[in-house]
Amino acid sequence: MTTEEIKLNVEKALDEIRPFLQSDGGNISLISIEDDKLVKVQLEGACINCSVNQMTLKSGVEMTIKKYVPQIEQVINIEI
């Protein structure tokens, strides 16, 4: 899978997740993909201060991204 295909598939995964986050007043943005293995995202809105955002990140976001791009090893939230 090329870097461009990885980015497209990560965006597809985020598009699948986004409605669930938006229903709770949050959102998510792709910041970067490093070495085709590490995805950096930014949780937004209500997700920033949510007490379960790490669980959401691991069980929801990371799992969905890995479904689209199995070679992704980790998804981390970047707080800006």
- pLDDT category at 24 given cuts 50, 70, 90 is confident
CATH code of the domain covering residue 26: 3.30.300.130
Rounded to two decimals, the pTM is 0.90
**Cα(29)–Cα(20) distance, rounded to whole angstroms?**
14
Number of domain units in the chain: 1
- Give me the domain span that covers residue 52: 3-77
Neighbouring residues of 27: CB distance < 8 A, sequence distance ≥ 6: 18, 21, 43, 44, 45, 47
- pLDDT of 57 reads 77
Question: If you average pLDDT over residues 25-51, what whole number do you get?
Answer: 92
